[in-house]
Chains A and B, each alone.
Chain A
């Protein structure tokens, strides 16, 4: 069964600190892996999208890494800000047959940044 598992479920850090969120997946074959940020009551916003051949991609203070061999990805947030408090969701796009493009979502990591 194609699955996406994220850890930790929740995380509390102090403003200015760095943190790393993890994503393990079993979706195979996959075409790309995405990280989204979702603020409470709003739709998700794309942070990064990486194909299977990419190892790292940055978007400002957000850096995502991908190891397609071990089926692991991480999202590193540098110098956290209060506005980073949100749910971070890992999403994998299936690349097989007639279900090409079907997205599988992780449960998300809820990040809280305290002043």
Chain B
């Protein structure tokens, strides 16, 4: 079974802090994704990566950056956290070339920015 893990289930940070969210997958998937999920807005894609050191902006990249130094790990970085970044963050991965294969999700990190 594919396993996608996220470093924290719950995280509380203060406005202006730098925040790192980590995601690791154990199935040698090429593609990895970061989403955020908000009531009434659904899931929105922040960034994705189709290879090591490669990244592409999703629908809402502002205020975020990402890093993929190893194939199994994809990090989401909030350079200066703000209250409007309080949300559920979900990481996903999929295999193969392109982005068309089944996506597998991690358990999510609920981030609260005070």
Does B associate with A? no
